[in-house]
Structure 1
Amino acid sequence: MSGPILVVNPNSNAAVTEGLDRALAPFRLPGVPDIHCLTLEEGPFGIESQVDSDAVVMPLVRLVGDRRDAAAIVIACYSDPGVEACRSVARCPVWGIQEAGVLTALSRGDRFGVVAIAPVSIARHRRFMRRMGVLDRLAGERALGVSVDESARGDSTFALVEEVGQALKSDGSDVIVLGCAGMVCHRAPLEAALGIPVIDPVQAAVAMAWGTVRCSFPAFGGSG
């Protein structure tokens, strides 16, 4: 299958989807897989609680089951809602951005820190990292105390993102993961400010999907 890579924003905030689309521009080159960013219109305006995360699982499963043309799918929410369920119905590989972001961080440093949007998010993230078996590499996770929508506003929130990033660096983090898809606009300026790698998990997941598709299908230059 040589269809597009689908990047699904499970919240209904189209501004977040637009930010994802801009952040993935470096992956759009001639002769490589198309990347389509979609908004899950049934989703909440921001996924900030366990209830929000659980509520999007079945809509995601329906969407993934319907998109049989996709070569790969990325669920662009940091708590990786419904990833296992989506993998069970998909005809293509499915990535969650928390898993991809953490795995990428582990390849760039010894201990990583996570910038969360809200305190209520942290327990949910830790449960996932416990299942991954990586808590011994976690230097810390700190929250901005803002909504998903607010986290995506570069001018008004970057100072707060930098403050939290500096605190995580003081905690012992030598690489930072942005713990929300809406924070993609902060990656490059935060990396410049902190002087350590900063991982945008959406870019990390798409890089994995892009490489897999590129190497798997002759139409995209792979060996078959």
Structure 2
Amino acid sequence: MTGPIVVINPNSNQAVTDGLDRALASFRLTGGPAIECVTLTEGPFGIESQLHSDQVVLPLVDLIARRSDAAAFIIACYSDPGIDACRSVSPVPVFGIQESGLLTALSRADRIGIVAIAEASEKRHRLYMRRMGVSSRIAGERALNMTVDETARGTGTFTRLQEVGRALISDGAEALVLGCAGMAVHRAPLEQVLGIPVIDPTQAAVSMAMGTVLANQI
């Protein structure tokens, strides 16, 4: 029996973790690896700036060091905070949801769009995409201009997602990536309304982790 895939919400908002848990329900297969969603209680209520992103690096490293039972880790924040530090100390794979979400979307479409929570997030995302070497395939990134908590619980979130999604389609996007873990509950209905693939990055990362864990059992 392998250990669990541990999905870490680096902010301290339990509503986001609960949303992740619901979005991953269909991934919990009989005989497959367990999927455990945990909250980094030391984190800010929402990761909405570079400072917030940097603040969670050492707590993430400490959490990973404590979870020697895990088969893989997911950093469930779209800017993948601390991913290099976490990989340097983890004996098992560590997946970031921005990297996984982008790679999954690029396997579904030539040009993709990213839905950010706020304009302040776009620079962090852009620098990471440049590092990944995928900038030429990004049709655009547009912001909801909402907080992380609003994306998880706000009543107007879905309407705003539709507006931003249609704008990104007009920019040339053929698939979308939801640029915040708190948007997970909106993926399926948004894909149905917009008519193009919509990628939840946490689901994408868990898919990659499951493939890695199951392949190691052969």
The residue number in structure 2 matching 1:209 is 209
**How far apart are the structure 2 equivalents of 1:201 and 1:130?**
18
User: AA paired with 1:95?
Assistant: F
The residue number in structure 1 matching 2:121 is 121
User: AA paired with 2:93?
Assistant: P
Q: CA deviation at 1:156?
A: 2.4
- 1:23-38 to 2 correspondence within 5 Å? 23-38=23-38
Q: CA deviation at 1:153?
A: 2.3
Q: Which sits farther off after the overlay, 72-81 or 154-163?
A: 154-163
Does structure 2 conserve the Cα–Cα contact (< 8 Å) formed by 1:110 and 1:137? Answer: yes
User: AA paired with 1:66?
Assistant: R
Q: CA deviation at 1:29?
A: 1.4
User: AA paired with 1:41?
Assistant: T
Alignment: residue pair count: 218
Q: CA deviation at 1:214?
A: 1.1
**How far apart are the structure 2 equivalents of 1:143 and 1:185?**
18
**How far apart are the structure 1 equivalents of 2:66 and 2:137?**
38
The residue number in structure 2 matching 1:96 is 96
Relative distance call for 1:73 and 1:87 in structure 2 (3 A) is same
- 1:1-224 to 2 correspondence within 5 Å? 2-153=2-153, 155-217=155-217, 223=218
Runs of 4+ residues deviating >4 angstroms: none
**How far apart are the structure 2 equivalents of 1:186 and 1:116?**
14
Determine helix, strand or coil for the equivalent of 1:152: helix
TM-score by length of 2: 0.98
Determine helix, strand or coil for the equivalent of 1:167: helix
**How far apart are the structure 1 equivalents of 2:212 and 2:155?**
35
User: AA paired with 2:89?
Assistant: V
Determine helix, strand or coil for the equivalent of 1:142: strand
**How far apart are the structure 2 equivalents of 1:16 and 1:75?**
13
The Cα offsets for residues 110-156 of structure 1, whole Å up to 9 and x where unpaired, read as 00000000000000000000000000000000000100000112632
Q: Sequence identity of aligned pairs in percent?
A: 67
Q: CA deviation at 1:65?
A: 1.1
User: AA paired with 1:156?
Assistant: G
Determine helix, strand or coil for the equivalent of 2:155: helix
The Cα offsets for residues 155-176 of structure 1, whole Å up to 9 and x where unpaired, read as 3210001000000000000000
**How far apart are the structure 1 equivalents of 2:153 and 2:116?**
15
Determine helix, strand or coil for the equivalent of 1:155: coil
User: AA paired with 2:176?
Assistant: I
User: AA paired with 1:79?
Assistant: S
**How far apart are the structure 1 equivalents of 2:106 and 2:154?**
26
